[in-house]
Amino acid sequence: MIASMTGFARREVAGSFGTLVCELRSVNHRFLDASLRLPDSCRPLEPELRQTLARSLKRGKVDCTLNLRTVELSAGSLEVDEAALARLLPRLRALAGALSAEARIDLIELLRFPGIVRQETLDPEQLFPTVRALFSETLRELAHARSREGARLAAVIEQRIDQLRTMVAAIQSRLPEVHARMRQRFNERLADLGAALDRDRLEQEILLLLQRVDCAEELDRLGGHMEETLHALKSDEPAGRRLDFLMQELNREANTLSSKSPDLETTRTVVEMKVLIEQMREQVQNIE
């Protein structure tokens, strides 16, 4: 199933630690380029999360943001380090006496002094399994979003292929008429010259001329590339690079067809074909 490289997913979970929110955004990129922004408490998990991401996605620029909103700490979760406070107070009093008799010690500022208040810290063994599970769920949601977008892109490309087939069939049906008109024009010009010519040699020259402008080979290759495009769209493997190559080949054959054909109507049809191929190429840029 074709998948797009564009998608978004967001999941959150609440627990005793607070609320954990995971967001994943992806856009098109030649390779897999992952950027992870994690809380300091979750940094040890970054290599593992990158491996999980690489197993699920093959291409795209992916931005992951993991936010942890901790719960408000209760008074029971704060503990004053009495020993540290006992060491600090005499020095603060001495400093206050040296500066001014009216200097006072602010209790709130005192509690903010490093080491005076100890807070309960998050237990990694409790938090990490939740992070892993949340990341995996968000990644699955992103993969589903990319698959849905991929199905839409595949439908657009299939529609363009159907239009291309119609145009190729129209050009093929005109080939006998084009060749007959060229032969007639060639004979008329020779008749205007009024010269006696070898009919066998003349026929050989006409055949050589028709071979130089014959587009049957290009039309056959266009048909083959279109079939291969439809086959790639149904592949279970990432097909973005292959589809990009096929778009280049379709465009190359269309250019050759335009340069070889002496028929104005065929040239106009080829211009429309190139517009369709360019539209498909733009869509293919977003396919994994």
| Burial annotation 173-206 (CB, 10 A radius, 16+ → b, else e) | ebbeebbeebeeeeeeeeeeeeeeeeeeeeeeeb
Banded model confidence at residue 187, pLDDT cuts 50, 70, 90: low
Full set of structural domains in the chain with CATH: 7-73+123-147 (3.30.230), 79-119 (no CATH), 150-284 (1.20.140)
For residue 53, give both structure tokens.
């991401």
For the segment 150-178, the average pLDDT, to the nearest whole number, is 90
Between CA 162 and CA 172, with CA 167 as vertex, the angle to 5 degrees is 125
What's the confidence (pLDDT) of residue 75? 45
What's the confidence (pLDDT) of residue 241? 93
Query: What confidence tens digit (pLDDT) does each residue in 107-136 have?
Result: 566 556 665 555 556 667 778 999 999 999
What's the confidence (pLDDT) of residue 73? 47
For the segment 255-281, the average pLDDT, to the nearest whole number, is 87
CA atoms of 118 and 107, how far apart (whole Å): 16
What's the confidence (pLDDT) of residue 212? 61
Query: What confidence tens digit (pLDDT) does each residue in 25-48 have?
Result: 999 999 999 999 999 888 999 999
Assess whether pLDDT exceeds 80 at residue 81: no
For the segment 3-21, the average pLDDT, to the nearest whole number, is 91
Q: 131, 126, 119, 120: which is closest to 42 by C-alpha?
A: 131
Could you give the percent of the chain with pLDDT greater than 90? 50
22, 66 Cβ separation under 8 angstroms: yes
13, 20 Cβ separation under 8 angstroms: yes
What's the confidence (pLDDT) of residue 225? 95
What's the confidence (pLDDT) of residue 71? 61
For the segment 64-85, the average pLDDT, to the nearest whole number, is 68
CA–CA distances in Å: residue 218 to residues 36, 149, 228, 254: 48, 33, 15, 8
CA atoms of 196 and 174, how far apart (whole Å): 32
What's the confidence (pLDDT) of residue 243? 95
Q: What is the mean pLDDT of the chain?
A: 82
Name the helix (H) or strand (E) containing 177. helix 124-193
Largest interatomic CA distance in the chain: 130
Between CA 236 and CA 249, with CA 61 as vertex, the angle to 5 degrees is 55
